[in-house]
Structure formats: structure tokens, C-alpha cells
């Protein structure tokens, strides 16, 4: 079988989104061609890295998960872009095997692809909606599919750098809610942007909270606590 091109496997506490504060094993795939302008993990862009066999990745997850008296049973598959066609078959094989072993699987999806066979079989999908400051566009049909088909096991996440990002997110959300007669319930999280290398952007954070409150708080504002605690550049935390 093709090897899994993995950047790192490590235990850390989830630092963002609605599962913030939850310890888990992260399997970070190496390789992304999406090119967000404010990407904070450019070291994961290059696909040209050594691979590991599925067995090696599973062994590493099991070793790390088993190190603790209270065994960790959660895995977050992230990247890079774990749904890139170069990764997707290996990610799917990994997820299937981890599910058989009783792990709860979260997938960090970059918002450019939906893979039904994988989404159907895992526990949670964190799906990016790209804002103007990222320079990337999310296909609204894919976003809508996640809202409708995976409503109960997904969150949408948007990085907000400024008012333009907020208004673009709000307008998209409202047009989908109107289309679906205000029945969409999947949580949508706003993540105040950190520019690469930036220390805690307190003013921007307050601004994003203020935007949300001024519009009736349709979203949840959740920052990246690992960056507050460890600074913007520390890896694998
Ligand atoms: S999808 Fe993620 S890893 Fe890829 S460029 Fe965007 S932020 Fe960076």
C-alpha cells in the first residue's frame, strides 16, 4: 500500500473549535496545495517527505495513546490538507482501522473537498469556510452539503481578520439559513486571525467579538488557546 506522508504524530490538547480543551492524538499529514495567504503551518505544504506504512502510523498512535494511565481514545487527523487526493485513500484506510480499534475520529477538513465514504464513517468533521483574507474560496455547495448531510457531527470554522471577513461569513450564513428556512443547526466558529508569527492579537480578538455581538451573535468566537499559552511558533502543542 502507498505510504502515509505524515509530518508528525503527537499528543496535545485541542486548542480551537468546539472541542477546545480536549486531549487527543494528532496525526498531521504533510502536503497542502490550497495556499491560504495567512496559513500558520506552511511547513506542511511540501508533499515531498518520507512516508510511513499504515502499520507504523497505527503503532505510533497506539504507543502515544497508551502512555497515560487514562488511555486516550481520540485522534484528530489534520494537515496540511488530509483530503488532498494524494492523501485521501491513506487517510480513509487509517480512519477505518482506528475506528475498528475504538477511537473517536475528528477530521480537520480544509473546506475544499467532501469525501462521503470517509465523512460517513468518522465521528466529527471540522470544515473550513475560507474568508477573503485567506485568498481562497470555499465552494458553497460543499458547505451546504456539510450543513445538511453532516449537521449533527460537524462544525464550520472561519478565520476572521477584519470586518470584510466577518460580513462575508455572515452573508453566506444568512443566505444558507434563508434557503433552508432557518433550520441549520451546525455550529459555526469564528477564529480571530493570527498573522504568521504574531503574538496574541487582543484588539482583533475584541473586534471579532464585537462584530458577532452587533449582529445578534449568530456564531461562536473561539480563539486558539495553544497560541496564547505557547506563543505563535511552537509546534505540536
Ligand atoms: S488549508 Fe490549512 S495547511 Fe493548507 S494553506 Fe490553508 S491553512 Fe495552510
23-37 pLDDT, tens digit each: 999 999 999 999 999
User: The domain that contains 173 carries what CATH number?
Assistant: 3.20.20.70
Identify whether 142 is part of a domain.
Answer: yes
pLDDT, average across residues 45-63: 95
Q: Is the CB of 44 under 6 A from ligand 1?
A: yes
Question: Around Cβ 170, how many Cβ atoms within 10 Å?
Answer: 19
| Residue 42 located in a structural domain | yes
Domain assignment of residue 80, yes or no: yes
pLDDT, mean of residues 212-228: 96
C-alpha cell at 72: 486516550
Torsion angle of alpha carbons 206, 172, 174, 147, nearest 10°? -100
* Cα distance between residue 167 and residue 182, in whole Å: 18
Query: What is residue 40's predicted lDDT score, i.e. its pLDDT?
Result: 86
CA angle 204, 147, 134 (to 5 degrees): 35
> Considering its fold, how many domains does the chain have in total?
1
Q: Measure 103 CA to ligand 1 centroid, in angstroms.
A: 25
User: Closest by alpha carbon to 206, among 230, 189, 223?
Assistant: 223
Q: Quick check: bond before 68 cis, omega within 30?
A: no
Closest by CA to 15, choosing from 231, 163, 162, is 231
Which residue's alpha carbon is nearest to atom 7 within ligand 1?
Answer: 39
Nearest to 136 by CA among 212, 201, 211, 81: 81
Asked whether residue 23 is assigned to any structural domain, the reply reads: yes
Give me the domain span that covers residue 83. Answer: 6-230
Within 14-145, strands assigned E span: 23-29, 74-78, 104-109, 124-128
The Å distance, Cα 60 to ligand 1 centre, comes to 24
**The pLDDT value given to residue 232:** 83
Query: Per-residue pLDDT for 198 more than 70?
Result: yes
Would you state the pLDDT for residue 197? 81
Confidence of residue 231 (pLDDT cuts 50, 70, 90): confident
More confident residue, 1 or 206: 206
Q: Which residue has the least CA distance to atom 2 on ligand 1? A: 80
Which protein residue's CA is at the shortest distance from atom 8 of ligand 1? 39
Note the pLDDT of residue 9. 97
pLDDT in tens, 129-151: 999 999 999 999 999 999 999 99
3-class secondary-structure state, position 88: helix
Q: Is residue 235 part of a domain?
A: no
Q: Are 94 and 27 in contact (CB under 8 A)?
A: yes
Q: How many other C-beta atoms lie within 10 A of the C-beta of residue 212?
A: 19
Enter the DSSP assignment of 133. Answer: G
pLDDT per position as a tens digit, 94-122: 999 999 999 999 999 999 999 999 999 99
> 3-class DSSP state for residue 188?
strand
Distance, CA of 164 to chain centre: 22
Per the omega criterion (within 30 degrees of 0), is the bond before 80 cis?
yes
At 196, the pLDDT band (50, 70, 90 cuts) reads confident
Structure confidence at residue 138 (pLDDT): 96
Q: What percent of the chain has pLDDT over 70?
A: 100
Which atom belonging to ligand 1 lies closest to the Cα atom of 38?
7
**Is 61 domain-assigned?**
yes
User: Which pLDDT belongs to residue 1?
Assistant: 63
Pocket test for ligand 1, best of 41, 82, 127 (most atoms within 8 A of CB): 41
Q: Please indicate whether residue 81, judged by its CB atom, sits closer than 6 Å to ligand 1.
A: yes
Atom of ligand 1 nearest to the CA of 79: 3
Cβ(108) – ligand 1 distance below 6 Å:
no
Q: SS3 for 171?
A: helix
Per-residue pLDDT at 6: 96
Question: Alpha-carbon distance 125 to 158, whole Å?
Answer: 14
Q: Is residue 36 part of a domain?
A: yes
Whether residue 1 lies inside any domain: the answer is: no
H helix runs in the chain, sequence order: 54-65, 88-100, 116-121, 140-149, 163-179, 202-214, 225-230
pLDDT at 235: 87
Amino acid at each position: 500500500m502507498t505510504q502515509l506522508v505524515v509530518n508528525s504524530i503527537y499528543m496535545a490538547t485541542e486548542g480551537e473549535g468546539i472541542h477546545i480543551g480536549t486531549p487527543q492524538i494528532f496525526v498531521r499529514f504533510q502536503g497542502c496545495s490550497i495556499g491560504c495567504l495567512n496559513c500558520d503551518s506552511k511547513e506542511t505544504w511540501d508533499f515531498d517527505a518520507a512516508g510511513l506504512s499504515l502499520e507504523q502510523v497505527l503503532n505510533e498512535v497506539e504507543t502515544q495513546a497508551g502512555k497515560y494511565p487514562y488511555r486516550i481514545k481520540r485522534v484528530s487527523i489534520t494537515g496540511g490538507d488530509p483530503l488532498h487526493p494524494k492523501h485521501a485513500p491513506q487517510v480513509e484506510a487509517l480512519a477505518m482501522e482506528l475506528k475498528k480499534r475504538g477511537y473517536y475520529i475528528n477530521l480537520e477538513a480544509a473546506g475544499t473537498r467532501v469525501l462521503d465514504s470517509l465523512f460517513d464513517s468518522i465521528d466529527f468533521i471540522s470544515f473550513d469556510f475560507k474568508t477573503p483574507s485567506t485568498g481562497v474560496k470555499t465552494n458553497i455547495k460543499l458547505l451546504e452539503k456539510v450543513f445538511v448531510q453532516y449537521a449533527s457531527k460537524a462544525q464550520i470554522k472561519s478565520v476572521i481578520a477584519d470586518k470584510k471577513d466577518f460580513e462575508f461569513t455572515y452573508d453566506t450564513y444568512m443566505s444558507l439559513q434563508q434557503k433552508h428556512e432557518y433550520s441549520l443547526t451546525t455550529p459555526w466558529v469564528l477564529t480571530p486571525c493570527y498573522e504568521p508569527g504574531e503574538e496574541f492579537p487582543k484588539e482583533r480578538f475584541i473586534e471579532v467579538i464585537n462584530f458577532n455581538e452587533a449582529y445578534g451573535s449568530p456564531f461562536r468566537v473561539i480563539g486558539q488557546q495553544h497560541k496564547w499559552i505557547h506563543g505563535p511558533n511552537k509546534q505540536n502543542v
